[in-house]
Structure 1
Amino acid sequence: MFYKEIYVYDNDKPVKATFRNYTKDDFGQLIRVQQEAFPPPFPEDLWWNEEQLTNHISFFPQGAICVEIDGRIAGSITGLIVNMETGDEDHSWAEITDNGYIRNHDPEGNTLYIVDICISPAYRKLGLGKWMMQSMYETVVQLGLERLLGGGRMPGFHRHSAELTINQYVAKVLAGELKDPVVSFLLRCGRTPVKPVANYLEDEESLNYGMLMEWRNPFKRS
C-alpha cells in the first residue's frame, strides 16, 4: 500500500503532508472535500457517493490516494487500470471510468487512468495537486504499467473558440501564447499531450472537449 510523508510550503512555512491510500473511515472527509471543491450550484449527485468510494477501495485500492494536513484530508486522487493502446483513446469520461464506479477496472491492463483529482480550496496554495499526481506516477512505476493517462477540462477554450479550432487552441497553449488553467497545470505536473477528444464531458467552458494527457513510465519501453 502507498504511504509517504513530505513537507510542502505555505508561503515560506514548511508543512508536513501525508499521502496514503484512503479507506472506508475516510469517506465522510472525502465527500466533504468534494463539497468544498464543487459547491452549489454544482450538482450534488456528481459528488462522490459511498458506493463509488467503496468500489475504489475494493477494486483498486492502490489507485485511491488522499493527502492529509494536520490529520485533516485536504484532497484526493483516484484511478483505475484499463487496457488501451496508443491510437485507441477516443472515449468519454463516463465510458472510461464507468461514471466513477470503476467496475471496468482491469488488473491486467497497461494504463493507469485518472478518474478524479480534487483539492479543498483552503489547501490549493500548497501545491498538493502536483504532489498527488507524482504519487500516481510512483504507483505506475511500482505496478510496472506503461503509462498514466487522463483527460482534463479546457476551461479557457470558450473564450477563443470563435477564432480558433480546438487543435489551434491547444497548439497556442503548448507554445506559451495562451494559458489554460487545467492543461497548463498538467504540463507543470509532467504530463504530455496526446490529443483533444470531443464529447469527453459535459462542460460549457470546454465546449465538451477533454484534453488527453499522459505520463510514460520511464522504466518501460514500448
Structure 2
Amino acid sequence: MYRKEIFVFDKDQPIPAVIRSYEEKDFSSLIKIQQECFPPPFPSELWWNEEQLLNHVTLFPEGALCIEVNGEIAGSMTGLLVNFDPNDPDHTWEEITDNGYIRNHDHNGNTLYVVDISVRPSFRKLGLGKWLMSSMYEVVVHKGLQRLLGGGRMPGYHAHSNNLSPDQYIQAVVEGKLKDPVITFLLRCGRTPLKVVPNYLEDEESCHYGTLMEWKNPFQNEGKRRHLKNGI
C-alpha cells in the first residue's frame, strides 16, 4: 500500500496533504470527484461505479491512488499494468482499460497505463495533479516497469482542426505556439508525446483523437545492466 505525507501550497501557505492508496471506504468520495470533474452534459454512466472501483483496489491497489488535503479527498489517479508494444501502439481507451474495469490487468505487464486522473475543481490551484503523477512515477520505478503511458485528451484541438492536422496541433503545443489544457499539463509533468491515435475515445472537443503520452523509467537501463553483470 502507498502512503506519502507532503505539503502543498496555496500561494505561500503550506497545507498538509497525504497521497495514499484508496480503499473501499473512499468510494463515495471518489464518485463525487467524478461528478464534480465531469458534470452534465457528460453522461453520468461514465462516472466511476462501485464495481469498477472495487476492481481497482483488488486487482492493482498500487495503481489506485488518492490525495487528501486537510483530511478531505481532493483527487485520484488510477492505473493498470499492460504489455505495451511501441511498434503496435494503436488502441482505444475502452480496449486497453477494459472500459475502466481493468479486468485485463496483467501482473507481468511492462507498462503502467493511466486509466484516469481527476482533481476536484476547487483544489486545482494546489498542483495536486502533478503530485499524483509523480507518485505514480514512483510506482513505475518501484516495480521496475519500462514506462508510464496514457492517452491524453486534446480538448483544444477542435478550435484548430480546420487548419491543423492532429499531429501538427501536437507539434505546435510542444513548440509552445499553442497551449492545450491537457497536453500542456502532461508536458509539465514530464510526459512526452509518443503517437496521436484516432478514435481513441468519444470526445468531440478532441475530435475523437488522443495523444499517447509516455514517461520512461530512467532506471530501466541501469536495472538491465545490473542483471547482466550478475549473470541473470
Q: TM-score range by the shorter chain?
A: over 0.9
| Distance in 1 between residues matched to 2:32 and 2:174, nearest whole Å | 35
Q: Percent identity?
A: 64
| Runs of 4 or more above 6 Å deviation | none
The residue that corresponds to 2:168 in the other structure is 168
Q: Which residue of 1 aligns with 2:61?
A: 61
* Unmatched 5+ stretches in structure 1: none
- SS of residue paired to 1:168: helix
- 2:218 aligned residue: 218
SS in structure 2 at match of 1:73: strand
Structure 1 letter corresponding to 2:173: V
Mapped partners of 2:148, 2:178: distance in 1: 25
What is the SS of the residue equivalent to 2:36? helix
Which residue matches 2:94? 94
Which letter maps to 2:90? D
Distance in structure 2 (CA, Å) of the matches to 1:32 and 1:170: 32
Q: CA deviation at 1:20?
A: 0.2
SS at match of 1:139: helix
Deviation of 1:192 after TM superposition, in Å, equals: 0.7
Q: 2: CA distance between counterparts of 1:121 and 1:142? A: 30
User: What is the match of residue 42 of structure 1?
Assistant: 42
Q: CA deviation at 1:71?
A: 1.3
Is the contact between residue 27 and residue 50 of structure 2 (CA under 8 Å) also seen in structure 1?
yes
Using the alignment, how far apart are the partners of 1:163 and 1:69 within structure 2?
42
Name the aligned partner's letter for residue 87 of structure 1: N
> Partner of 2:145 in structure 1?
145
Matched AA of 1:52: Q
The Cα shift of 1:65 comes to 0.2
Whole-Å separation in 1 of the counterparts to 2:41 and 2:184: 26
- 1:114 counterpart letter in structure 2: V
* Structure 1 position 89, deviation (Å): 1.3
* TM-score, normalised relative to structure 1: 0.98
Q: Distance in 1 between matches of 2:196 and 2:12?
A: 38
Residue 93 of structure 2 aligns with an amino acid whose one-letter code is: W
The equivalent of 1:196 in structure 2 is 196
- The residue that corresponds to 2:75 in the other structure is 75
* Distance in 2 of aligned mates of 1:85 and 1:42: 32
Helix, strand or coil for the counterpart of 1:215?
Answer: strand
The letter for the 1-side match of 2:200 is Y
Instruction: Tell me the CA shift for residue 178 of structure 1.
Output: 0.8
Paired residues of 2:154 and 2:210 also in contact (CA < 8 A): yes
What is the Cα deviation at residue 11 of structure 1? 1.4
Q: Tell me the CA shift for residue 151 of structure 1.
A: 0.3
Match of 1:124 in 2: 124
**Equivalent-residue separation in structure 1 for 2:200 and 2:41 (angstroms):** 21
Which residue of 2 is the match for residue 136 of structure 1? 136
CA shift digits 1:78-132 (9 cap, x unpaired): 0000001212210000000000000000000100000000001110000000000
CA RMSD in angstroms, aligned pairs only: 0.8
How much does 1:201 deviate? 0.3
Q: Could you tell me how far 1:211 is from its partner in structure 2?
A: 0.6
State TM-score, norm by structure 2: 0.94
> Deviation string for 1:2-35 (max 9, x for gaps)?
1001111111111111000000010011111111
Number of residue pairs matched?
222
